[in-house]
């Protein structure tokens, strides 16, 4: 069975594919499926709302089952920021380097015990018949004082879980503990009810 993922982020597509493969689901980007998707304005105030906006739009435009993820980083010291604005925290959408710089600057003199944070992922699945469901996964950690590791994407090099950042973990290690991995395991449990 083919599912469309409403993202141009090939790393997200690969992550989703690894986790859904045991269900014999092939995850396709719009380019792979030969469809053109409108870039959806993420006007939601929660990860769940934004995930639904993207999945619903992708489903309606393609006629395929569509999955979308909205995820981000919530830092306790910053009252949950950057939150739903994680990808555009520094003003330019998707500039990981600038986002990390701004985050580290905002936490410059903050001691380790006050640098707690969580990654959140909401994954929504919309079906052509109008049904949909959304699951949420979280992973708690601490913001490092500097970047470590070249793996992952986004804030991964500064998000510490135990003694390693997400940027230092390989794909399998990250999938086991990450917010998206946690959300997708719930997704895999929920999905059979809709098939």
pTM of the model: 0.91
Could you list the active site residues? 70
**In the block, which residue shows the tokens 């719930």?**
186
**Would you state the pLDDT for residue 151?**
86
- What is the pLDDT, as a whole number, of residue 8? 78
Say how far apart CA 176 and CA 156 lie, in whole Å.
15
| Domain limits for position 36 | 2-194
Sheet containing strand 26-28, strands side by side:
26-28, 2-5, 66-75, 116-126, 132-143, 159-161, 164-165
CB 98 within 8 A of CB 81: no
The CA R_g of the chain, rounded to the nearest whole Å, is 17
Nearest 5°: phi and psi at 74? -120, 115
| Residue 152: per-residue pLDDT | 82
Structure confidence at residue 153 (pLDDT): 85
Cα separation, 174 vs 156, in Å, equals 10
Query: What pLDDT is attached to residue 83?
Result: 96
Give the 3-state secondary structure of residue 10. Answer: helix
Segments in the chain below pLDDT 50: none
* Nearest in space to 70 (alpha carbons), one of 89, 45, 95: 45
Tokens standing for residue 166: 């997400």
pLDDT of residue 72: 95
Could you tell me if 71 and 119 are in contact, meaning their C-beta atoms sit under 8 angstroms apart? yes
**Domain containing 27 — which CATH number?**
3.90.950.10
> Which helix (H) or strand (E) covers residue 104, if one does?
helix 96-106
Report the distance separating Cα 30 and Cα 150, nearest Å: 27
In the chain, the number of structural domains is 1
């Amino acid at each position: 069975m083919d599912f469309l993922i409403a993202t141009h982020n090939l790393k997200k597509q690969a992550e989703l594919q690894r986790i859904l493969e045991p269900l014999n689901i092939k995850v396709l980007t719009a380019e792979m499926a030969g469809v053109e998707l409108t870039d959806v304005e993420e006007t939601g105030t929660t990860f769940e709302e934004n995930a639904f906006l993207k999945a619903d739009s992708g489903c309606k435009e393609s006629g395929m089952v569509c999955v979308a993820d909205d995820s981000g980083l919530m830092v306790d010291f910053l009252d949950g920021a950057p939150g739903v604005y994680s990808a555009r925290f520094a003003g330019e959408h998707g500039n990981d380097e600038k986002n990390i710089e701004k985050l580290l600057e905002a936490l410059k003199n903050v001691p380790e015990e006050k640098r707690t944070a969580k990654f959140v992922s909401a994954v929504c699945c919309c079906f052509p018949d109008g049904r949909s469901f959304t699951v949420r996964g979280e992973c708690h950690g601490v913001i490092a004082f500097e970047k470590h590791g070249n793996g992952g994407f986004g804030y991964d090099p500064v998000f510490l879980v135990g003694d390693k950042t997400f940027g230092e973990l390989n794909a399998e290690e990250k999938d086991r503990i990450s917010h998206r991995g946690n959300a997708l395991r719930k997704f895999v449990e929920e999905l059979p009810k809709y098939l």
